[in-house]
Structure 1
Amino acid sequence: MNRMIALWAHPRSRSTVLERVFIERGDFEVFHEPFAHMAFNEQSAIPHDDLDCGLPRTYEGIKSLLRSTRERRNVFHKDMCYHCLDELKTDTDFLLEQQHVFIIREPGRAIVSHFAMFAQMPLHAIGHKALYDVFCRVTKLTGKIPYVINGDDLANQPEETLRRLCDHLQLEFLPEALSWAPSCPPQWQAWRSWHKDAERSTHIVASTSDFDERQLTAHPHLMGYYHAHRPFYERMNQFTQQGRS
């Protein structure tokens, strides 16, 4: 049977560049945030591009698309848990039929990056709590801790991080998938404005600047967002795979 791999993320976690590696592999049909299409439409305040791209707009429709695609190809889909949290947490069958990977990033950096794109972002859209809720649900269902990647480990040690992930998923590691020509994959068209750096990239790039906490403290509500989500990041970061034997 073909496989379905789910990459569950929060915004600005470096999940898109990890998705790009799976696009470059060529052995998966890759879906970019399909469940966003049940959360947003053309009238939504969140910055977007071409949301009228033919994807289903309901949870059941999106799930059906992923399942039908799996009948002919391996499937990789990346999404934010907060897009479909209530439905996902109660959908035991769908959760159990996938291999799950979770990616997290220190919330201060993620929040500042998110704020630069969407200053009106609501608290729940920071995403760490929703991610942790699904992480706990998968843990309970499977009896195993799901695989967790820290996005900064991915940026700073991409080859080692991807080798470990491939070992876990029992996939061949393809070093050629870690570089590409600058382009916008068709999967990104609906949210292209969010991925300009990824579109211009040729490989996974480490952050070149130190984090300045004043970017948070200058906006008191962002500090509130940070304190609300930081505990969930800390709980999941205990289980990141980088550096483990």
Structure 2
Amino acid sequence: MNRMIALWAHPRSRSTALERVFIERGDFEVFHEPFASVAFDERSAIPHDDLNCGLPRTYEGVKALLRSTRQRRHVFHKDMCYHCPDELGADAEFLLEQQHVFIIRETARSIVSHFAMFEQMPMDAIGHRALYDIFCRVTKITGKIPYVVNGDDLAKRPEHTVRKLCDHLQLEFLPHALSWEPSCPPQWMAWRSWHRAAERSSGIVASPDTFDDLPLQTHPHLMAYYRIHRPFYERMNQFVQQEPS
């Protein structure tokens, strides 16, 4: 039977870079945030491009699309748990059909990156709490701790990180999938404005070591977001499956 791999993320976690690796592999049908079509529409405040991209607008419709695609190809989908937390949490059957990977990034960096894209972001959209809730749900129903990638590790050591992930998923590591021609894959068109840097990239690269936390210091609500979500990052980060360099 074909496989379904879910990459669960929070915004600005470098999940799109890891998704691009699976696009370049060529052996998966890749879906980019299909459940976002359930959470948002053209009237939503979140920056978007063309949301009329043919994806279903209901949770059950997206699930049916992923299942039907799996009948003919391996499926990889990347999404944010906060798009449909109640539905996912109550759908053990669907969760059990997949191999789960969770990706996290240090909370301050992800919040500042998110704020640069969308200053009106609500607290729930930071995403760490919803991600942790589904992480715990998957752990409970499978009896196993899911695989966790730290996005900063991915950026600093992409080959090492992707090799380890492939080993875990029992996939062949394909070196060619770590580089590509700058372009916008069709999967990204609905949310293209969020992925301009990824679109211009030709591979996964690390951010500068310096980090400007001024937005956190000058916007009290961002610091409140940080304090609420940081504990969930810390809980998940202890399960990151990386070896010392």
List per-residue Cα deviations over 1:164-190 (Å, max 9, x = no partner). Answer: 000000000000000000000000000
- For 2:208 and 2:25, locate their aligned partners in 1 and report how far apart those are by CA, in whole Å: 27
Q: Is residue 2:13 matched to residue 1:7?
A: no
Give the superposition deviation at 1:215: 2.3
Residue 38 in structure 1 maps to residue 26 in structure 2: no
1:177-205 superposed Cα distances (whole Å, 9 cap, x missing partner): 00000000000000000000000000001
Amino acid at match of 2:41: N
1:208 Cα offset (Å): 1.6
Which runs of 5 or more residues in structure 1 are unaligned? none
What residue ranges of structure 2 are gaps of 5+ in the alignment? none
- TM-score w.r.t. the length of structure 1 is 0.99
For the residues of structure 1 that align with 2:26 and 2:15, how far apart are their CA atoms? 18
| Aligned counterparts, 1:1-245, within 5 A | 1-243=1-243
CA-atom RMSD in angstroms: 1.0
Contact 2:29 2:75 in 1 (8 A): yes
CA distance in 2, matches of 1:194, 1:174: 27
**In structure 2, C-alpha distance between the alignment counterparts of 1:204 and 1:140, rounded to whole Å:** 33
Paired residue secondary structure (1:136): helix
* Alpha-carbon distance, 1:244 to partner: 6.7
Contact 2:5 2:77 in 1 (8 A): yes
Q: Distance in 2 between matches of 1:43 and 1:49?
A: 12
- Cα distance in 1, alignment partners of residues 179 and 20 from structure 2: 9
Contact 2:112-2:213 within 8 A present in 1 as well = no
In the aligned structure 2, how far is the partner of 1:58 from the partner of 1:164?
Answer: 34
SS in 1 for 2:203: coil
Structure 2 CA distance for partners of 1:143 and 1:90, relative to 1, 3 Å:
same
Aligned residues: 245
